[in-house]
Amino acid sequence: MNLFELNNVTAGYGSTPILRDVSLNVEAGDIVSLIGRNGVGKTSLMKVAMGLLSPDVGKIKFDGANVTSMSADKRAKAGIGYVPQGRDVFPQMTVEENLQIGAEVGSNDREKLYDEVYEYFPRLSERKDQNAGTMSGGEQQMLAIGRALVGNPDLLLLDEPSEGVQPSIVTEISERIREINEEIGTTVLFVEQNIQFTISASNSCYVMEKGQIVDKLSKTELEDSSKVEEYITI
Ligand SMILES: Nc1ncnc2c1ncn2[C@@H]1O[C@H](COP(=O)(O)OP(=O)(O)OP(=O)(O)O)[C@@H](O)[C@H]1O
């Protein structure tokens, strides 16, 4: 069953179309990636998925419902968690306070996953009272993922989780995403330019060029990294 679908979406800013006739499916329980070079429209696609950018044409479905005109806050309550590019943690707030905000953004009916977030990311547990702005890029990324996860979303959208994160932490984050998916059952759609992260963390991969989906790579095609390299190496 598809948990999330974009069907023939065209979207942009003002009269400039950025996404052109984009269709993409994410099955419940899956981890799917989207790769593409700088400026092809990956972040715009994530914004459309979250409800921060309205499509001019096309349809968005989440959990069987048409959410095309649903606002971002309602999508969050319905079970979509979003980690934006650059993370956007609240720098003057502590780790704990950032997580509390994440819990409020999500649905009130869902169990909150504070314990799980601290188990998956012990660095956050050790820094509960530290201001988020004083943490490293990797720790802030963990916090941003934790802030989205604490509300117990069905679908987690991650926009370039490896960006500005040191290599050893990139590996740690990809392993945690796999574990969260396997143990909690969270479905994940992420955007990346990091080849290793894409190969290790996802089961299949859409490729975007100039606002269009031009290929979908299976797990086998991903594991033979040459195709991924061809699409994102400059
Ligand atoms: N708010 C905006 N207003 C106008 N144009 C925008 C806006 N945001 C993005 N764009 C343009 O849309 C195009 C796609 O940008 P987008 O950020 O979606 O690409 P991307 O693939 O995520 O890039 P990157 O890998 O560099 O993050 C770019 O040409 C960008 O300049």
Question: Which ligand 1 atom is the nearest neighbour of the CA of 193?
Answer: 25
Q: Alpha-carbon distance 113 to 225, whole Å?
A: 35
Q: Ligand 1 center to residue 171 CA distance, Å?
A: 27
At 61, give phi and psi (nearest 5°): -120, 135
pLDDT at 22: 98
pLDDT at 234: 63
Q: Alpha-carbon distance 126 to 95, whole Å?
A: 10
The residue whose CA is least distant from atom 3 of ligand 1 is 13
Single-letter code of the amino acid located at 80:
I
Q: Ligand 1 center to residue 22 CA distance, Å?
A: 16
What is the pairing mode between strands 31-35 and 187-192? parallel
Ligand 1: which of 10, 13, 189, 212 to mutate, most ligand atoms within 8 Å of CB? 13
Q: Ligand 1 center to residue 39 CA distance, Å?
A: 5
Going by the DSSP 8-state scheme, the letter that residue 111 receives in this structure is P
The residue whose CA is least distant from atom 10 of ligand 1 is 13
The residue whose CA is least distant from atom 1 of ligand 1 is 13
Q: Ligand 1 center to residue 117 CA distance, Å?
A: 31
Whole-Å CA distances, 172 to 158, 162, 233: 15, 10, 23
Ligand 1 site, CB within 6 A: 13, 18, 36, 38-44, 85
| Structure ipTM | 0.94
Domains of the chain: 2-232 (3.40.50.300)
- H or E stretch including 206? strand 204-209
Q: Alpha-carbon distance 48 to 223, whole Å?
A: 29
Mean pLDDT for back-to-back runs of 10 residues, the chain (234 residues): 97 92 98 95 97 96 97 96 91 96 85 94 96 95 96 96 92 96 97 94 96 95 87 78
Q: How many CA atoms lie within 13 A of 50 on its CB side?
A: 23
Q: Ligand 1 center to residue 153 CA distance, Å?
A: 26
Q: Ligand 1 center to residue 45 CA distance, Å?
A: 10
Q: Can you say whether residue 36 is alpha, beta or left, with left for phi > 0 and alpha for psi between -120 and 50 degrees? A: left
Q: Ligand 1 center to residue 191 CA distance, Å?
A: 13
Place of tokens 């992260």: 197
